Amino acid sequence: MKSNPFLKRVMAISIIAIISWVFWPSIPHNLTTANEQIIEVQEIKPIKLPAKIINPNIPLAIKTKTITSNDSATLVAKAYAAELNFPPYSQPLTESDFDRLKPNHFNPQSIPVDDSGNVVSASLSKYRYIYPEPVLATIVGENIDHAELELVDISTGELILTRIFEKGDVSWRSQFDGEKNIPTQLQARIKAYINGKNVSIALALQYVDSVATLESFDPAFHQDADMILTANLTTREAGFYRIRANIFDAKHQPIAHLVSKKKLGKGNSHMDLKVHQSVLKGRKAPFYLSTFFIELMSPAPGKITKYGDSAIKEYVIKNFVLSSLSEISYQSSEQEQQRLLLLQNMADGR
């Protein structure tokens, strides 16, 4: 019987398949072939990673957004555009406007005194003093043995006076009376002895002689959309003056920051502060005027600004009828519009 060629081919293929099955590398059982009806999937168990330990001694890299000059110009343009909704002499005031509410505030200075994080803080009752106001210095800290104050002329380094601090319930205090011809630019050097260590803090201040005094106000009256408050001053020097003040409502909430500028002679003088109707909407009387700030502005570069004082702390505005003010909106001047256009062009990169 002759061998069938088909049977020979079948036998050859079978032998090759058996050899391949015996000697081929093993295949993991969890893998499946494409022709299987059910695919077995191995369960993946969650892996618990160790908690990331943050070393407090290694500074963290913080990504900050780079602010370009165009961004800055855009912010300035938007702020200036908002200001133009109100006249420059009567700008809205809020409780967050700290520099306008407390223009003569002194920021305390603090320095560490040991490796445990203890600090000593020193401050003055204000930054600028007007003769004959006394100067009050305060220091606060733990384990202060004693302390002294030295007043020095910044321009010459000359020591003007020395005072000792006295211990109080919560702080140490020192005070000295002002002198008429004391230098304007001064430094209060505080030397404290804490746990056997010498600690020094330098505080800058100004001491000036008043060039003008705010004496009183005339009763308020209306003029178109403005409440007019005429300030009466006694000026001891002629020049270009600026007076600033804040107006508050019946609940002593801030309303507006008022500014007036005028060239005045020597003697009895008058300046008008104006309150625009736009800032008085919804406010209740009586109104209170305070935070007076008087300046004789520098006449030229290199010339110092001089300051005045006020004989009154607060002026109460009574019986003013708000309905007497016209509802005229503030219209910005051509110069103000040109400034705004310039800022907007800078913001657009033009």
Q: For strand 128-130 and strand 197-208, is the pairing parallel, antiparallel, or unpaired?
A: parallel
Mean pLDDT by groups of 10 residues along the chain of 350 residues: 48 48 40 35 43 48 59 73 85 97 97 90 98 97 95 96 96 94 95 93 97 98 98 98 98 98 98 98 96 96 95 96 94 77 74
Parent domain of 297: 212-324
pLDDT at 18: 47
Residues 247 and 171 in one domain: no
- Reading the block at residue 280, the tokens are 């008085």
Classify the phi-psi angles of 282: left when phi > 0, otherwise alpha if psi is within -120 to 50, otherwise beta: left
Phi, psi of 13 (to 5 degrees): -65, -40
Residues 229 and 163 in one domain: no
- Reading the block at residue 69, the tokens are 């000059």
Secondary structure of residue 79 in the 3-state scheme: helix
CATH code for position 137: 2.60.40.1930
Phi, psi of 117 (to 5 degrees): 95, 5
pLDDT at 14: 54
- Is residue 280 assigned to a domain? yes
Pick from 341, 275, 311, 290: nearest CA to 88: 275
Residues 202 and 234 in one domain: no
Is the CB of residue 287 less than 8 Å from the CB of residue 217? no
Residues 284 and 217 in one domain: yes
Residue 25's identity, in one-letter code, is P
pLDDT at 38: 33
- Is residue 137 assigned to a domain? yes
- Is residue 198 assigned to a domain? yes
Pick from 110, 108, 160: nearest CA to 137: 108
Residues 263 and 197 in one domain: no
Pick from 170, 173, 168, 176: nearest CA to 192: 173
Strand partners, 136: 175
Phi, psi of 188 (to 5 degrees): -95, 110
For residues 7 and 12, what is the distance between their CA atoms, to the nearest angstrom? 9
Q: Within 13 Å and on the Cβ side, how many CA atoms surround 154?
A: 11
- Reading the block at residue 33, the tokens are 């072939």
- Is residue 78 assigned to a domain? no
- Domain end among 159, 181, 208: 208
Task: Count CB atoms within 10 A of the CB of residue 89.
Answer: 18
Residues 166 and 226 in one domain: no
Residues 276 and 187 in one domain: no
- Is residue 25 assigned to a domain? no
pLDDT at 50: 46
- Domain end among 144, 177, 208: 208
The alpha helices in the chain, defined as continuous H runs, are 5-23, 69-83, 98-101, 277-280, 334-347
Helices 69-83, 334-347: crossing angle, 10 deg rounding: 150
Within 8 A by CB and 6+ apart from 133, the residues are 178
**Structurally, how many domains does the chain consist of?**
2
Residues 187 and 224 in one domain: no
